[in-house]
Amino acid sequence: MLALDHIVINSPNTNDIVTNSGMKVAIKAVKGGEHTEWGTYNYLSHFSNNSYLELLGVNNPEKAKNANNPLIQHLLYVQEEERTGPFQFALRTKQLDSYITHFEKEGIPYKGPFLAQREKPDGTILKWRMLFPVYDYTKETLPFLIEWEDPEAIFSETNLANTQNITRVNYGGLDRSTFAHIYQMKPKKLNKRQLTLLNSVIYFTDDKKIGFELV
């Protein structure tokens, strides 16, 4: 079953985003590291349900422009449009290869998997793979799939976690049935606007903007 891994944000300040989402308390954010091959860097706010917010920024525009990673292309687009806030999110899986098989069988276009790594401030190297169902980032968003080489490494620093949970991702980029088919999820009949993740839920709205709730 899929879990919410993280929500990607274009903003210089985590607490601005939290305030805009209705929260009245500050949250802790730490430096994540740099993605040298993409020309980007990030800051992270971890939460107690093994999810986090990622503030993603560009520190090498030339590398970022030449990156073939769809997430970086999406980031550059929202920056050009001067849109701050959440614009993408990742779903965590331990079976990324099975999704490649599923996409190919069902004729779902995709990009990847992209191999990635970054060095944490303590020198530790984190490695992961990313898989993207193809979408037009000028009009819509489809979350990407992520598989960590060591799933516990990214969430091991419990002293850096905030006490809140990301209880819900508000999403309006696609109807629930099509979304469930792409990501091999089983909709429950009782709630026609919701899909359940291991650690959160996706709530389908009529607004194409991505939002979230912290409790």
For residue 64, the domain's CATH number is: 3.10.180.10
Q: What tokens were used for 10? A: 């274009």
Say whether pLDDT at 18 is over 70: no
Look at residue 91 in the predicted model and tell me its pLDDT: 98
Strands 110-119 and 125-133: antiparallel
What pLDDT score was predicted for residue 17?
56
The whole-angstrom separation of Cα 58 and Cα 11 is 11
pLDDT over 90 (residue 6): yes
What is the predicted pLDDT for the residue at 53?
92
Distance CA 84, CA 39 (A): 19
* Token pair of 154 as six digits: 């990214």
State how many domains the chain has.
Answer: 1
Look up residue 70 and give its two tokens. 């769809």
- The DSSP secondary-structure symbol of 160 reads G
Instruction: Report residue 98's pLDDT band, with 50, 70 and 90 as the boundaries.
Output: very high
Q: Can you tell me the distance from the alpha carbon of 73 to that of 176, in angstroms, rounded to the nearest whole number?
A: 26
- What tokens does 42 get? 């990030």
Percent of the chain predicted with pLDDT > 90:
65
Q: Coil, strand, or helix at residue 14?
A: helix
* Host domain of residue 71: 3-214
